[in-house]
């Protein structure tokens, strides 16, 4: 079955760019939608954005000006860049796959998820 | 933007009791609602999709119901491993934006 694994620096300085990669194993990245979701310590979940394997993207309006999600199908990976970070961006960052049905229509729920990676913004 | 509200914020129950969790949407989401369980230090796990369908491997004691703006997750008889935080989530059609509720913590009484 498909498994996802996040990787990247655990510490980022304020005003710099947070960069994370999600590696997909056990299946192809093609034909699916892939999302980034974050969770500040002790708080709830916030969807950041998604990318389709073809490269089309959609972002949370609240983060849109600072977010870029890209895909590398040759490596079965997709990546997140979040610019101009502040302490408010400290969170566990998850990557997740959106389920698509047999007609390749995205259905709006996430399964599976990666285990998550904590990124702390601090000088 | 569709806002999801969950109640109660915390539910204190004993093993074997029935848990009833509520999720309300600020506008109709039809049946496009999912429920997740999250334990400390773990990623969320999909429990229910399309409001009432159990995900693969989810025990029958978990059930979902509702449509439109009001949804319920029921755990018929709490097992020790069910004490966790539960989130509801929806995706709006256009623009396709995903939102989560604030969560309900089910803890041991």
* Beta strands A3-7 and A18-25, pairing class: antiparallel
Rg (CA), chain A: 14
Q: Find residues 9-68 of chain B whose CB sits inside 8 Å of chain A.
A: 32, 34, 36, 42-46, 49-50, 55
Distance of CA A48 to the CA centre of its chain: 7
Computed over every residue of chain A, the mean pLDDT equals 96
> What is residue A106's predicted lDDT score, i.e. its pLDDT?
86
In DSSP terms, which residues pair with A50 in a beta bridge? A35, A58
Q: Residue B55: left if φ>0, alpha if ψ -120 to 50, beta else—which one?
A: beta
Among chain A residues, CA nearest to B51: A109
Quote the CA–CA distance of A32 and A4 in Å, as a whole number: 13
- The Cβ-side half-sphere exposure at B47, using a 13 Å CA radius, reads 26
Quote the CA–CA distance of B87 and B13 in Å, as a whole number: 18
> What is residue A67's predicted lDDT score, i.e. its pLDDT?
98
* Distance between A60 CA and the closest CA of chain B, angstroms: 6
* Cβ–Cβ below 8 Å for B97 and A60: yes
> What is residue B51's predicted lDDT score, i.e. its pLDDT?
95
Tens of pLDDT, residues B16-35: 999 999 999 999 988 889 99
Confidence band of A84 (pLDDT split at 50, 70, 90): very high
Q: Which of A58, A108, A112, A113 to mutate to test the interface with B (most CBs of B within 10 A)?
A: A108
Whether the predicted pLDDT of A100 surpasses 90? no
> What is residue B81's predicted lDDT score, i.e. its pLDDT?
97
Whether the predicted pLDDT of B94 surpasses 90? no
Selection from B39, B41, B57, B51 nearest residue B88 by Cα: B51
Sign of the CA dihedral with A116 first, then A120, B3, and B5 last: positive
* Cβ–Cβ below 8 Å for B89 and A35: no
Quote the CA–CA distance of B25 and B3 in Å, as a whole number: 6
Whether the predicted pLDDT of A42 surpasses 90? yes
Is the separation of the CB atoms in A2 and A27 below 8 Å? yes
Tens of pLDDT, residues B35-91: 999 999 999 999 999 999 999 999 999 999 999 999 999 999 999 999 999 999 999
Confidence band of B11 (pLDDT split at 50, 70, 90): very high
- Those residues whose C-beta lies under 8 Å from the C-beta of residue B79, and which sit 6 or more positions away, are B15, B59, B61
């Amino acid at each position: 079955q498909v498994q996802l694994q996040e990787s990247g620096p655990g510490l980022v300085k304020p005003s710099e760019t947070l960069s994370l990669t999600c590696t997909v194993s056990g299946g192809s990245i093609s034909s699916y939608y892939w999302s980034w979701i974050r969770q500040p310590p002790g708080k709830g979940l916030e969807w950041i954005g998604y990318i389709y394997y073809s490269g089309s993207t959609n972002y949370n309006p609240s983060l849109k000006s600072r977010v870029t999600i890209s895909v590398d199908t040759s490596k079965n990976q997709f990546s997140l860049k979040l610019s101009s970070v502040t302490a408010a961006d400290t969170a566990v960052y998850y990557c997740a796959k959106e389920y698509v049905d047999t007609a390749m229509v995205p259905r709006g729920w996430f399964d599976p998820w990666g285990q998550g990676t904590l990124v702390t913004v601090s000088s | 933007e569709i806002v999801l509200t969950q109640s109660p914020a915390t539910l204190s129950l004993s093993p074997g009791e029935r848990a009833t969790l509520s999720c309300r949407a600020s506008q109709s989401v039809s049946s496009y609602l999912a429920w997740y369980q999250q334990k400390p230090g773990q990623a969320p796990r999909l429990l229910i999709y399309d409001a009432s369908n159990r995900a693969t491997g989810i025990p029958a004691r978990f059930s979902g119901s509702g449509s439109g703006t009001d949804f319920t997750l029921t755990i018929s008889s709490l097992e020790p491993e069910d004490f966790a935080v539960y989130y509801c989530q929806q995706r709006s059609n256009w623009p396709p934006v995903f939102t989560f509720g604030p969560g309900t913590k089910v803890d041991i009484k």
